[in-house]
Structure 1
Amino acid sequence: MMDIAELRRQHDEISLIAAQLGEAVSDESAPRQVARLRWQLARLLMTHLALEDRLLYPATVHSSDDDTRKTAAALQQEMGDLAARFSSYMTAWSDDRILREWSAFCTQTRAMLTALADRVDSENRILYPLLIRAAADNPRRKAS
């Protein structure tokens, strides 16, 4: 099983950058420098989502705990396309377009940050505790 403490640490780091980006787009009347924050968030998020979507969620299929399997499957179905949505968001918004369409960018950014916050919250509150409990019930599969 993956290191849950490390995944939570990554969530904290992602949430911090997301909060800074959210603050930057809170005023739709004045375009701000957001490129550094966007790319910093993209780097952290895409690495983290790749770990979860390619390793963590598929590994839950093998959990001996029925509740863990069902919950992980439901969360993955509900939020599994976040990486693709974020990638599309990054591609759609060039620096020039952000300046030209600042208000629309702010609206889309806030929606993306809400989806991200929802996923982080669900994993921290629901999935990770289940994985820790399942690992405790099955000592051969370790989560921390």
Structure 2
Amino acid sequence: MDIDKYKHQHTVIFDNIRKLKEFSHLGIAEHAADIAAQVIKMSSVIKLHLSIEDKFLYPALQEANNPRLATMGKQYQHEMTHIAEAYGEFARKWNDAGHVAADPDGFRNAANKVLKVLFDRMQREDRDFYPMIENA
């Protein structure tokens, strides 16, 4: 199974997270518009990524003749539901420059929490899950 598009989307999301960190270090209130725009940009990639995973990747794993991958796919999909919900709440709140500028510490705390979980999950997929799919 070709999963290059999924890996590429991870790279784009990692890059977006890096840019959010850069803007935050330069000053959250001063770069609130940049931060909000970056959240919107990242959200579109995340939504696309989750959609094609749900529509193509996970069903393909269920149809493949590999019970271990099918089980792992179900587990990853289930876990991602909770991560996606948390990210969705984060994105809805922080995609507005006014909210970001009004509460820099709130943004920082939310970003550290939600983006760390997202970052760790994508790293785990890249390290454990995707290689397993490619080798099947």
Task: State the TM bucket, normalised to the shorter chain.
Answer: 0.7 to 0.9
Partner of 1:4: 3
Give unpaired runs (5+ residues) of structure 1: 135-144
Q: Which has the larger radius of gyration?
A: 1
Deviation at 1:96, TM superposition (A): 1.4
Query: Residues 2-37 of structure 1, C-alpha deviation per residue, up to 9 Å, x if partnerless?
Result: x31121111111111111112322467754231221
1:50 matched to 2:82: no
2:63 counterpart SS class = coil
CA distance in 1, matches of 2:85, 2:9: 19
Which moved further from structure 2: 46-55 or 20-29?
20-29
After superposition, the C-alpha distances for 1:68-104 in whole angstroms (9 at most, x for unaligned) are 1122222222223333322221212332121111111
- 1:130 aligned to which of 122, 129, 132: 132
* Pair 28,112 (structure 1): closer, same or farther in 2 beyond 3 Å: farther
User: What residue number does 2:72 align with?
Assistant: 71
Which structure: greater helix fraction? 2
After superposing the two structures, state which structure 1 stretch, 29-38 or 114-123, moved more.
29-38
1:41 Cα deviation from its structure 2 partner? 0.8
Task: Give aligned-pair identity as a percent.
Answer: 25
Which ranges of structure 2 fall in alignment gaps of 5 or more residues?
Answer: none
Give me the TM-score of the superposition, normalised by structure 1: 0.80
Structure 1 CA distance for aligned equivalents of residues 25 and 109 of structure 2: 9
